[in-house]
Amino acid sequence: MVSTIVVGGFFGDEGKGKIVAHIAYTDHPSIIARGGVGPNAGHTVLKDGVKYGVRMVPSGFVYDKARLLIGAGVLVDPTVLEREVQLLGCADRLGVDYRCSIIEEKHILEDKTTERLAKKIGTTGTGCGPANKDRVMRSARQAKDVESLKKYLTDVSQECNDAIDRGENIIIEGSQGFGISLYYGTYPYVTSKDTSASSLAADVGVGPTRIDEVVVVFKAFPTRVGEGPFETEMPPEEAKKRGIAEFGTVTGRARRIGYWDPRLARYSAMVNGATQAAITGLDRVDPAVKGVTDYDRLTDRVKEFLRQAEKDARVPFTLLSTGPDQKDIIDLRNHKK
């Protein structure tokens, strides 16, 4: 039995969806539970050659045998959720904790029309901040109050803990990244709650002593959408020269590109209590490794990058992504130090 948390190590968009999918296909979890803020973060996932951008349903939906759960700590937009359920055909596998707070139209409107949020902070306009504000004020509606969600309601904490008691594998997947944590990120340019592994465990109601592995996901070239400090940001012309151009899954906004950040990597791994790390975008360190699935076939440049990254983060890098396809990955978890 292994309970695994997958958490973003930088500013989001690290490729957590691919890492969750890989772990799911190899570890065969009975449950994949989503923590995090809400529909303000998207995961891009490939399934059967089709690219999906999901904002509410766990990105582990690609593994057909897992029960898909949305933890009590997550904000739910019923419209977004229903649209994804129809698109993915996963209604029979989905469970929503009856205590989830609901995003309403008034929250979206407030998010988009509050100048400080929309212009200075650069929020996604999905209503998450205002909805969390109502939650703190104890005036938010809960999933149990929404008729269209009745068929999905469950106690996610009970389901997760029961699965652990039965000796089954579970995955808890996060959204956003450590750098925009309300507590530990670049405040005030952050999201509306903590995004660390501890909060993800709390979001789904699994106690810290029941977590076995914390996989922090880094990106060889970190990216950031929206405003806020970005210490290792590279000039746009440098990103263009390197052929790196990315856009946010939810907003469609161009992502700012940066160089590897050793200080943030170390601090993120520490606060998240990482037991191992995954890294994506190694094919951008050296295009020659694109699609490589054997560590010995990595170039010296990439191997040196990984050696330094491990020293920086002080945690073994066990999942190495060498390209965008699901199969473009090297899994060293059985060789973990």
Q: Are 96 and 70 in contact (CB under 8 A)?
A: yes
Q: Are 44 and 17 in contact (CB under 8 A)?
A: yes
* 224, two tokens: 């950031």
Please provide the size of the chain in residues.
Answer: 337
Beta strands in the chain (DSSP E): 3-8, 31-34, 43-47, 50-54, 67-70, 94-97, 153-154, 170-173, 213-219, 223-224, 256-257, 276-280, 317-321, 329-331
Residues taking part in catalysis: 13, 43
Q: Are 306 and 218 in contact (CB under 8 A)?
A: no
Residue 68 three-state SS: strand
Q: Are 214 and 197 in contact (CB under 8 A)?
A: yes
Identify which of 288, 298, 287 has the alpha carbon closest to the alpha carbon of residue 320: 298
d(CA 34, CA 68) in angstroms, rounded, equals: 8
Query: How many C-beta atoms surround the C-beta of residue 287 within 10 A?
Result: 12
Cα 239 to chain center, whole Å? 24
Per the DSSP assignment, residues forming a β-bridge with 280 are 219
Identify which of 301, 263, 254, 256 has the alpha carbon closest to the alpha carbon of residue 282: 301
d(CA 162, CA 13) in angstroms, rounded, equals: 31
161 φ/ψ sector (left φ>0, alpha ψ -120 to 50, else beta):
alpha
